[in-house]
Structure 1
């Protein structure tokens, strides 16, 4: 343990974002989709018709969560698929 050196440094927000994008791009895509759904919902709030505010916000929340969970699920499936291919031994 004494031979190992651990470098500790502070990451800037940009460095952390770029590292997260490399490690798990589907999570970042999910967060971007979540923010897009919230932005779209805020824009369309005035044109909701006779729908009550609470029902509109619940539907918006379900849509935003669905986008995020969908991206995370696709990312997990992609990761599992890549791990399966990496551990597969070539036939002789």
Structure 2
């Protein structure tokens, strides 16, 4: 239980390591909330089609956030290192 003794929660630690995870979660919630509010004015579109569009938009945002997060992580690990660290990683 020593990991939980600190003041900072596990979620906040993970959010600092991967900042795009909370962005993806917030975007997912925002898209679902927006599409649920727009449900009244969907016109003659079937409910199932409206829900499918909502799901695809929310999933697309999450996948996009994950992709940007992976690219950011790769950039941080491989390209943004100081020159001293890059020399020690290079094979001899």
TM-score, with normalisation over the residues of structure 2? 0.79
Q: What residue ranges of structure 1 are gaps of 5+ in the alignment?
A: 1-6
Please tell me whether residue 88 in structure 1 is matched to residue 86 in structure 2. Answer: yes
TM-score, with normalisation over the residues of structure 1? 0.79
Q: 1:32 matched to which residue of 2?
A: 26
Distance 2:55 2:18 in 1: 23
**1:15 Cα offset (Å):** 1.2
Query: Which 4+ residue blocks in structure 1 deviate beyond 6 angstroms?
Result: none
Q: 2:90 matched to which residue of 1?
A: none
CA deviation string 1:1-41 (max 9, x = no partner): xxxxxx634479x7122112101110110000000001001
Question: In structure 1, the residue corresponding to 2:2 is in which secondary structure?
Answer: coil
More helix by share: 2
**CA RMSD, 1 decimal:** 2.0
- Cα distance change, pair 83–27 in 1 and its aligned pair in 2 (3 A): same
Distance 1:33 1:11 in 2: 31
Q: What residue ranges of structure 2 are gaps of 5+ in the alignment?
A: 88-92
